[in-house]
Amino acid sequence: MLTEFVKRIWFGCGNFGGIGSSPHLRSAGDSEEQATQLLDHARRVGLRRFDTANTYGGGSSELTLGKWLQRQGSSFIHGAQIATKVGNPHGCPPGETPLSRAQIADHLDQSLRRLGIERIDLYYIHEFDRITPLEETLGAMAFAVEAGKIDRFGISNSSLLDVEAVMSLAPVSLASRFEYVQNEYNLLSQEDSEALIPYCAEHKLRYTAFSPLAGGFLTGKYRSGEKPPSNSRLFHAPEACERYLSGEFLTAIERLRNSAEARQESMAETALRFVLDTPGVDGLIVAPRSIEQFTSLGL
């Protein structure tokens, strides 16, 4: 069981109202009723950290999470940690850049309204737009900190060079709040273990792993030559994870299967334990879509 790690696990809300930020996957996401049931179960098993983004489900993820939070009461909200993000291109109107000063200010206020809170505990750059000067983006984030709209700041989908640049250029008020780095990390994608994760540990940044199950490949539900389940990420968005269908990855998945059997636990649980046991990893994000999937995670 992974119950001893529960304080290090974030509940990912990226499937609420769609799968991630893609507009053409809105119909493939969890309904508000399904999402509410999952959130209720997340609370029952002790999860108190929730991760979303302004573009997940076209904004419906934040709305659903916000409605649910308001029903939990102020005491629960005070003890929870809510993370959301800005900067995904799908949230940017034509002619604008996702991380301009104006876009950040507008989307931050939208996120606060949807979530029904006065301050966001953790606000991420979702991904760098590479057009807006980083100084402008960080200045907008610093202004939000000074206005009391965000508490902690983080970056996602970032390289070591990105982290170093933020460390170097962030205004003092923001630098003191720069605390999280969120990237993909799992048994099949370990590139960050060489330099970025050790750098984060050295500079007291909390490295958080998304996709710790490699889009579901590390649960054992996909097998070579078989069609993926109709409600799965591989079925709806194969471009996001089909690289794991190559021989070397399939061999690693089979080794994981054997290891899980030897430990008498699910493949998912063994895969999550690998991430949590990696030195320098602070936490990870899970996004189960059923109570049964929660159970398979050891939660």
User: pLDDT tens digits for 158-215?
Assistant: 999 999 999 999 999 999 999 999 999 999 999 999 999 999 999 999 999 999 999 9
Residue 237 has pLDDT above 90, yes or no: no
CA distances from 124 to 104, 136, 280, 282 (A): 11, 15, 19, 16
What's the pLDDT at 146? 98
CA distances from 151 to 27, 54, 84 (A): 33, 17, 12
The DSSP element (H or E) to which 36 belongs, if any, is helix 32-44
Decide if 251 is inside a domain: no
Beta strands in 29-132 (DSSP E): 49-51, 81-86, 120-125
The DSSP element (H or E) to which 235 belongs, if any, is helix 233-236
Domain count within the chain = 1
The DSSP element (H or E) to which 182 belongs, if any, is strand 178-184
Decide if 224 is inside a domain: no
Decide if 239 is inside a domain: no
pTM: 0.95
More confident residue, 123 or 250: 123
Q: Domain span at residue 209?
A: 3-214+282-290
Joined together, the tokens standing for residue 260 give 């899980």
Decide if 120 is inside a domain: yes
Decide if 148 is inside a domain: yes
The CATH code of the domain that includes 196 is 3.20.20.100
Decide if 231 is inside a domain: no
Decide if 230 is inside a domain: no
pLDDT in tens, 262-294: 999 999 999 999 999 999 999 999 999 999 999
Joined together, the tokens standing for residue 103 give 């876009």
**Angle at CA 51, nearest 5°, toward 45 and 57?**
115
Decide if 101 is inside a domain: yes
Joined together, the tokens standing for residue 220 give 């054992």
Distance, in Å, from the CA atom of 232 to the CA atom of 234, rounded to the nearest integer, reads 5
